[in-house]
Amino acid sequence: MTVENLIALQSYSSDADTIDLTKPIRRALKTEFQRTGLSARLLFKGLRDLPSGLDARTVNGWLRASPSARVDHLKFVCAVLAALPSATDCPDGIAHKSKSGPRGRDEHRIDVTSDMVVRFRHELTRSGQSVEGLARHDTAPAGLTLGVLVALRRGSVRKVRADHWDFLIGHLSGQPDKSPREVRENYPSPRRDGYRKISRADFYALRHEIERTGIPASKILDKATVPHDKLNGSMVKAWTLRQTVTALPDHIEFVLALYRIQPDA
């Protein structure tokens, strides 16, 4: 039974514009993505006139745990999937007319570069995803085992299947950033007079400047012409990792001012 047929049979929610994502609908969607070999990101590549608010993160939410979907969104995705060939029907290589899309043959492999390893590690850290979770993912291609993922993360493998790489980058890039770890209140003690909790604004300002300049928190003090005798790189790094949640205001201001005079990466 196609996803479109399932939609016709399912009862809508109390809102006529949405539909409950029941287990049969979610299962049918996952089957279609497995059939085509595409991730949500690659599904939308090159498409125009997408319904407002529809993107890869929305679709990834359907496949995981979103309780409902907009009817126009779901019907649009169903129509796009139904028009695509199966990955197994593309025996001579590139499927779905996309150079970065899934490959028809399992034996097609690409060289693993150092940039690929760095990107994979970055996406894992940014999204908070684990290699164990990726190996168990419902839409993961056959043969993408935990051993393959660990070797790729370590950079100890020279080649990787193209469909494995396409799935990994397509899936990870569609995930939201990992939320900062919740921290408990840490009130300054009498021995730490003047310390205050690092505000969310300061925390995100630091994260923004690190991304903008490409300078790690542990290295920013190397850029100071006059060293700060009560600050070190480990302290600044601990702020950005939320390992330390209080600081002297002038320390925060010193680091932010130092970052802001640095050029873009």
pLDDT (tens digit, 9 = 90+) per residue, 14-50?
556 888 888 888 888 888 888 887 788 888 877 777 8
Check residue 221 and give its pLDDT: 92
Q: Which helix (H) or strand (E) holds 116?
A: helix 114-127
Check residue 188 and give its pLDDT: 41
8-45 b/e (C-beta count within 10 Å ≥ 16 → b): eeeeeeeeeebbebeeebbebbeebbbebbbbbbbbbe
What is the Cα–Cα distance from 207 to 220, expressed in whole angstroms?
Answer: 12
Q: How many other C-beta atoms are found inside a 10 Å radius of the C-beta of residue 144?
A: 20
Check residue 220 and give its pLDDT: 92
Put simply, whether the predicted model's pTM sits higher than 0.75 gets the answer: no
Check residue 216 and give its pLDDT: 92
Check residue 244 and give its pLDDT: 84
Ranges of residues in the chain with a pLDDT under 70 are: 1-16, 87-107, 179-193
What is the Cα–Cα distance from 38 to 179, expressed in whole angstroms?
Answer: 27
Check residue 99 and give its pLDDT: 41
DSSP 103: B
Check residue 8 and give its pLDDT: 58
Check residue 186 and give its pLDDT: 45
